[in-house]
Structure 1
Amino acid sequence: MNLQIKPRLNEILTERGMTQKQLSELSGVPQGSISRFDKNSRHEDIHLFSIAKALGISVESLFEIVVITE
């Protein structure tokens, strides 16, 4: 079983009418780190928890997870 995991942060922010800058201010996570997470290039665990807490959602909700069976 393989998993395909991609961030949903841009989708979540769009649904809420928020910007990365607003999320940065709310979560205490630098805007650059939020941008890197959203591009799926890099993230730190503590930032994921801070972002999820600021948005009032679970860490798992920050991702789209697809199970690939072959």
Structure 2
Amino acid sequence: MERHIGRKIEKIRQLRGMTQSELGQLLGVTKQAVSKMEKTERCKEEKLRKVAAALGVTPEGLKSFSEESIFYEHEIGRTIERYEKLLDQMKREEK
């Protein structure tokens, strides 16, 4: 598991469709401060809690975030969509 917290912050921010400026506004810091934070490997617990809240995740979720889990969840979602379409098609054919 990657331990570089800054990269995790950046990835979650991007997945949320948030700019560095927007995250900075929520945290009361500049875009440059967010950029610097995203390049750091570690973050103090208090700051981590604030960042996690601004991103809409728990501190634990932020720490344990991995891109692999996002791709896995995306694949599960796509599989469910395919089954739902198939089920709808079968229901229409029964009528």
TM-score by length of 1: 0.63
**Higher Cα Rg, which structure:** 2
1:56 aligns with 2:30: no
Q: Which has the higher contact order (CA 8 A, sep 6+)?
A: 1
**Distance of 2:65 and 2:53 partners within structure 1:** 20
Structure 2 residue runs without a partner (length 5+): 67-95
Where is the strand percentage greater, Structure 1 or Structure 2?
A: 1
Structure 1 residue runs without a partner (length 5+): none
The total of aligned residue pairs comes to: 64
1:47 aligns with 2:42: no
Q: Percent identity?
A: 31
Q: Give 2:43's aligned amino acid.
A: H
Where is the helix percentage greater, Structure 1 or Structure 2?
A: 2
